Structure 1
Amino acid sequence: MIVSSEPFLPYPSFVDIEGIINIRSVGGYTTGTGRVLKPNAIYRSGDISSITDRGKEQFSALGVHVVFDFRAENEIKNYDSATPTLEGVKMIRAPAGIQNAFDPASIAIRLKNWATDELQAFLTTYEEILDTATEAFRTVFVHLRDHPDQPCLVHCTAGKDRTGMFITLFLMVLNVEDRYIVDEYALTTVGLAPSMPELTRKLQKMPVFRDNWEGLLNMGSSKPETMVVTLQLIREKYNGAEGYLKTRLNLDEEDIEKIRENYLI
C-alpha cells in the first residue's frame, strides 16, 4: 500500500466548534464500488466537556441529535471533564476499551511500552480496545442501523484511539478504500495540533506523564503506518470488519447491508 505524506481531504471535514478538540465529519470518501460515504451524518471528536456557549450554538447548527461518549467513568472523574448538557441532544454513555487503563500504574506501564516500541504498543492497545469495547461499539452500530435520520457524534478524550477504532470499523464495513481510512486516521494529528500547547502544559504537571515524556509523545501520534498495520490486524484476527461485526457484535448480513444503504450514496 502507498501511504501518502499528507492526509487526503475529500472535502473540508473539520468543523469549528469552540471548546471541542479534533472535531470533524466523517464522510465524502469513495468506496471500492464507487459509492460515496454520506457527509455530515456522523462526526468524531475529542472531549466535549469544555464546549463554550458559542460552541453550543455552533454545535446546534450541525444538526447532531445523539452523542456517544466512549470515556471511562474514572477517566471523566480524574480529568474533571463531566459531560455537558446540550439542548436537543441525547447523551449516551458507552464506555469503551481497557479496564483500569487510566489508573497511574497502568498509564506508566503503557507509556514505557510506547517509548520502547511505538508500533507494537499501538497494535496491543488497539487489539485490546477491539476485544473489550464490543458492547459500546454495538450500541453505536445499532443506532446507525436504526436511526440514519439522526446524525451522531462519537468521542473519547482525544478522539484518536477508541474513537479511531470505531471509525475504522465503520469505514471498513462500508468498503471505503484503505488509503482513505489511513488518511482519515492521520487527520487526528492535524485535529489535535491547536490544543497541544495547553495539553502539554497540563500533562507536565502530572508526574506519571512528566516522567515518561517520550512515551507520551509517541502515544499521542496518529501516523499512517500505524493504521496500515491495524487494518492488517483486523483482517487477520477478526476476518475483517464484517467478521468483527458478526462474531463480536452479533450483527448479521442484513444489519450490515442496512448500515451500508443508510450511509452510502
Structure 2
Amino acid sequence: MRSTKLRLMNLGCDSRSIYVQTHQRNSSKFTFLRTQHSKMSTSTSSSAALPSPPFIQVEGLPNLRDLGGYPVPGSKNSIRRGVIYRAGAPSSKIDEDGWTTIKSLGITHVYDLRSNPEIEKAEAAGRGGVVEFEGSKRVFAPVFTDVDYSPQNLMVRFKNYQSGSPEGFTAAYEDILKNAPQSYTQILRHIAQWPTSPLLLHCTAGKDRTGVLCALILSLCGVDDETVAREYSLTEVGLAHWREEVVAGLMASHTIPSDRTGALNMLSARAENMMATLAMIRERYGGAEGYIREHCELSDDEIGQIKSSLVVTEAPVHQL
C-alpha cells in the first residue's frame, strides 16, 4: 500500500515539528514527535499539551483548532488561517487564561449546532448550557430539531455509530446532511459575506455535525480527500483528555446500551470514516459544491466568494 507522511510545521509560533502522520489506504496513525507550547496556546495542568498548530488549548473548550493552513493541491495556495475555528461545546470551566486566549482570536460569531435538549442536558450536568463569549454573537443554528432528538431517533442514530464501521458513520453523516441545510447555510453565508470576520463552529463534541460542515468547506475549496480526512481525524487527539468524561455520560444515558466499546466507537473520528463520507457526498450530491448549491441554495457568486476568501497564496502550515 502507498503511504504518505504529513508533517505539521509551525509558521510564526514556538512549536517546531509536531507530529508525523502515516496514512495508508484504510488506516491513519498519528505518532507524536515533540510538542512545545505556541504563543497562542494556553495550557493548564489538567490536560496534556496538544500540538499547535492546529490546536489552541483552552480548558473548558475541548477540541479547539484552526481549520486553516491546509494545502490546496496543484497550487501554492492554502486555506486561510484565523478565520474558521472548530471545537466541542464550551463549558463553564473556561478560566481567565482561557478567556484571554479566546479573546485573542477575534471571534465575532459563535455558531452553536446543538439541539435544545443537548443544551438542557449540559446545563443539568453542571457544564453550563449556553456559554456566552464576550464580544461575540452567539447564533443558535441547530442541525437537528427537538423532534429529531427524541429518544427513538437518538437510538437509531447511535446505533449507526456503535459499530464504528465506515458504513455506520456514512449513514449517520448522510442523516446530518439531510437535516443540516438551514443550519449550514447561515454559516456558509457568513463566510461569503464577512470573509475576514472569524467564527467558531461547535456542536457537543465538535466531531460530527461540526466535522461534516468543515469537510464540506475544505472540499469546496479544493483540499483533497485524504487531507480532509486527516483533519477530521485530529478529533481523536483533540478529545483524548475529554474522552472518559464523555464515555461515562453516554453509558449513563437511558437511550443507549451501557457498552463501553460502543460508546468509544461513537467518539471515534477515523480517517476512513470521512473518506467514505466524502465518496458518499460525491455519489449523492455531486460533491461538496453540488450539496452547497442545491441544498443550501447558495448562488454561484456566493460559492465563488467563499473560495476566493478562504484560498490564499500562502505556504501551508500542514505540509505534505
Please indicate, yes or no, whether the TM-score normalized by the shorter chain is above 0.5. yes
Letter in structure 1 aligned against 2:101: Q
Quote the offset at 1:132 in angstroms: 0.9
Letter in structure 1 aligned against 2:154: I
Is the Cα–Cα contact under 8 Å of residues 160 and 171 in structure 2 kept in the other structure? Answer: no
1:17 aligns with 2:58: yes
**Which residue of structure 2 lines up, in the alignment, with residue 76 of structure 1?**
119
Greater shift after overlay, 251-260 or 147-156? 251-260
**Any residues of structure 2 matched to 1:1-265 within 5 Å, and which?**
3-4=23-24, 5-6=28-29, 12-34=53-75, 35-54=77-96, 55-80=98-123, 81-97=128-144, 100-116=147-163, 118-209=165-256, 211-265=258-312
Letter in structure 2 aligned against 1:6: K
Distance in 2 (CA, whole Å) between partners of 1:102 and 1:243 is 27
Q: 1:112 to 1:259 in 2, by over 3 A?
A: closer
Distance in 2 (CA, whole Å) between partners of 1:156 and 1:91 is 13
SS in 2 for 1:185: helix
Quote the offset at 1:100 in angstroms: 4.0
Is the Cα–Cα contact under 8 Å of residues 251 and 259 in structure 2 kept in the other structure? Answer: no
CA radius of gyration, larger in: 2
Letter in structure 1 aligned against 2:103: S
Quote the offset at 1:217 in angstroms: 1.7
Quote the offset at 1:101 in angstroms: 4.8
Quote the offset at 1:255 in angstroms: 1.2
Identity of aligned residues (%): 34
Quote the offset at 1:117 in angstroms: 6.4
Q: 1:196 to 1:115 in 2, by over 3 A?
A: closer
SS in 2 for 1:249: coil
Letter in structure 1 aligned against 2:260: W
Letter in structure 1 aligned against 2:58: I
Matched length: 265
TM-score for the superposition, normalised by structure 2: 0.77
Quote the offset at 1:190 in angstroms: 0.4
Quote the offset at 1:82 in angstroms: 1.6
TM-score for the superposition, normalised by structure 1: 0.91
Greater shift after overlay, 199-208 or 231-240? 199-208
Quote the offset at 1:67 in angstroms: 0.6
Letter in structure 1 aligned against 2:115: A
Distance in 2 (CA, whole Å) between partners of 1:149 and 1:121 is 37
Query: Which structure features the higher share of helix residues?
Result: 1
For structure 2, list consecutive stretches of 5 or more residues without a partner in the other structure: 4-22, 33-50, 313-320
Q: 1:118 to 1:103 in 2, by over 3 A?
A: farther
Q: 1:26 to 1:117 in 2, by over 3 A?
A: closer
